[in-house]
Structure 1
């Protein structure tokens, strides 16, 4: 099977490419730069040059492959509207190219705002619809199409050595301020998953999931105080509470999210597809030094 992967040289994407190649798949990877193309070529993956704004390239990749894994995202925190628009347009272009076929279409989604007062489950529909919503409402858009769409909902931290996502920003704030902070009483929680476990779930979803499946890439739930304490141990810094109204000033843009509860269950995913996370926990990764270079 030939799989078209967007975001193929990115954090989750690069591990997904490794997972697919290790299990005998051919990979056609989208690359927007020579550096990205070189990384894919070195792995014996085929390169398709383009980016999320090149909708023709996305349609071509989907047409030339037997399945699609869409992981690319602009992640432009200075212009979230641009990221939302690009995500919606790219998902729509790929889905339209796959319409009426049995080709699996696994696409990245998120866990934010799915439930209130409890961990979100795979049965919780996304509340986001339309271009102006987070990710451009792409999950609901894809699941409404005549395509074998599978939503891979990733934890707010998909962690590991080399991660430059949310945890890296929180570590950077600790280095900058000289304290490792948590927000309020530190009780709000994030789901977490090691990047290799996330990559394996993508492959399992590609192989087994029926249309309309929502996969939860969730290995554990960690409070923001536990995260701060682990960072404090790793960097030998004091740990302190940050008032919610001071969070963005202390942490930067990530302060908007660190105090939010983004916890979820993966019980349905585990039972349906035999997925069992085996990678290090988030605290283990932090304490072992995975983020010291952040």
Structure 2
């Protein structure tokens, strides 16, 4: 299958490209710079120059491919709504040229902040209509219009080694923040939890969703192993860095966490049981704590 991958040089997207190529697919990766194009070519994929504002280029990539995996996103969380709207428009543009075909498109979402069902975020958890989770809205609209669209919803901590070193999403950001502040922190009692997933496991899920995904399906990229509470995670950071650990009130939290305050306070006890059953996906990489211990601390 010829697959058009946006975000092909990114942390998750580059792992997706590697996973696709190693499983016999041909890949065309979107690149917004010569540096990105170079890394995509070195991985063994073709390059299409453009970015999320180049809707005509995105449509060209989707039209000429047998399927699309959309991992690109502008990771400026200080202007999340603007960037989420750009993401929605990009998905809609690619979906428009897929209407009337059986070509699959797999878009990217997140588990963080979704409603709980029986105490867990499951594949049945849906973003409220008034939320700004625009990729999920776009995926639903495409599915209802007959496009073979599905969504992979990433854990808040996507971790693993890449060419630029070890990364771990919000988890590493919190460890770096604690190191800079001189103490680790959590909000209130800190009982809220975050799941995680290794980038290689996430990439495998994207491939399986492309190959076997159902129209309108939601897949959770979540490692079901023990998910630490924010208090437990702060205590781990404190132990590893030999720094104090403090509980902050909701009023104190913004001074410490700044733009991450909402995310840090969110409860995300997620599961991927249905995803594993439907696609045969099984996380097999080392846990976030094992990777963090080796590559960060």
TM > 0.5: yes
| C-alpha separation in 2, matches of 1:145 and 1:12 | 28
Q: CA deviation at 1:164?
A: 5.9
Q: Quick one: which of 164, 167, 170 aligns to 2:171?
A: 167
Please report how far the alpha carbon of residue 28 of structure 1 lies from its aligned counterpart in structure 2 after TM superposition. 0.3
- Partner of residue 55, structure 1: 55
CA distance in 2, matches of 1:212, 1:192: 23
Runs (5+) with no aligned partner, structure 1 = none
Greater shift in the superposed pair: 31-40 or 232-241: 232-241
Q: Distance in 1 between matches of 2:293 and 2:186?
A: 16
The answer for unaligned runs of 5 or more in structure 2 is none
Deviating 4+ runs (over 6 angstroms): none
Give the TM-score normalised by structure 2: 0.92
Q: TM-score, normalised by structure 1?
A: 0.93
- Secondary structure at the aligned position of 1:245 is classed as coil
Q: In the aligned structure 1, how far is the partner of 2:168 from the partner of 2:119? A: 28
User: Per the alignment, do residues 142 and 168 of structure 1 end up closer, same or farther by CA in structure 2, a change over 3 Å counting?
Assistant: farther
Contact 1:179-1:238 at 8 Å conserved across structures: yes
Q: How many Å separate the matches in 2 of 1:25 and 1:231?
A: 40
Deviations 1:236-282 (A, max 9, x none): 32322222222221122112211210221111111111111111212
Q: Distance in 1 between matches of 2:182 and 2:293?
A: 17
Asked if 1:247 is matched to 2:253, the reply is: yes
Q: Which residue of 2 aligns with 1:127?
A: 128
Q: How does 1:265-284 map to 2 (within 5 A)?
A: 265-284=271-290
User: CA offset at residue 231 of structure 1?
Assistant: 2.1
2:101 maps to: 101
Q: In the aligned structure 2, how far is the partner of 1:191 from the partner of 1:145?
A: 32
- Does the CA-based 8 Å contact 1:105-1:150 persist in structure 2? yes
Alignment of 1:1-294 (within 5 A): 1-116=1-116, 118-128=119-129, 133-135=132-134, 137-161=137-161, 162-163=166-167, 165-220=169-224, 221-289=227-295, 291=296
Any idea what the Cα deviations from partners look like across 1:34-70, whole Å, max 9, x if unmatched? 1100000111100000000000010000011100000
